[in-house]
């Protein structure tokens, strides 16, 4: 009688081990995002953008997209919410008046001071501890998994970014 995959202990079954790891990762990131929201009063995506501005260097939305390793539209919607909450300010760039410079405000700095690490920061810190020899197959295999599930289409938004409804209103 063949043994079922389910009956093997997780340590011996790679599928069970992977599923367990994904569950732990998903739960841990969700709890970290909830902690960010309850402690800092901002979303995990907003905190991650604020932390990239913490050095005091003004940045355009395109520069923020580079710093956060995400697409411009995802960052733009997060910046709009930060502007509304007065956690960042926008002014013409000193070097190029056609560009807007985003800067963290005093209120934004206060949020960052009391906030825990953003979930994306936790991931980046862990990835920075890995060698390029470890990272390459991880990236390739995650891409295969995403593709097999059918999640590869569309932009990869910032973690825990709320959907911005203003894009629907403006796209009549």
Contact 149, 19 (CB under 8 A): no
Q: What is the pTM of this model?
A: 0.81
Q: What is the pLDDT of residue 13?
A: 86
* Residue 52 pLDDT greater than 90, yes or no: yes
Residue 93, classed as helix, strand or coil, is: coil
Report residue 93's pLDDT band, with 50, 70 and 90 as the boundaries: confident
What structural domains and CATH numbers belong to the chain? 17-156 (1.10.10.10)
Distance in angstroms (rounded) separating the CA atoms of residues 36 and 43 = 7
| Spatial distance between the Cα atoms of 19 and 3, rounded to a whole number of angstroms | 19
Contacts of 52 (CB under 8 A, 6+ apart): 59, 64, 67, 68
The answer to whether residue 49 scores a pLDDT higher than 80 is yes
CA atoms of 75 and 157, how far apart (whole Å)? 8
Quick one: pLDDT at residue 98?
74
């Amino acid at each position: 009688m063949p043994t079922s995959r389910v009956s093997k202990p997780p340590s011996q079954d790679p599928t069970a081990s992977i599923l367990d790891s994904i569950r732990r990762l998903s739960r841990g990131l969700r709890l970290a995002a909830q902690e960010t929201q309850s402690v800092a009063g901002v979303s995990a995506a907003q905190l991650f953008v604020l932390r990239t501005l913490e050095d005091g260097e003004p940045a355009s939305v395109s520069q923020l997209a580079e710093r956060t390793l995400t697409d411009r539209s995802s960052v733009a919607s997060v910046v709009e919410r930060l502007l509304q909450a007065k956690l960042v300010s926008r002014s013409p760039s000193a070097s190029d008046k056609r560009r807007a410079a985003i800067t963290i405000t005093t209120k934004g700095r206060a949020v960052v001071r009391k906030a825990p690490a953003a979930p994306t920061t936790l991931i980046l810190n862990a990835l920075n501890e890995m060698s390029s020899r470890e990272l390459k197959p991880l990236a390739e295999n995650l891409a295969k998994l995403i593709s097999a599930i059918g999640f590869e289409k569309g932009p990869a938004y910032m973690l825990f970014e709320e959907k911005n409804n203003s894009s629907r209103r403006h796209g009549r």
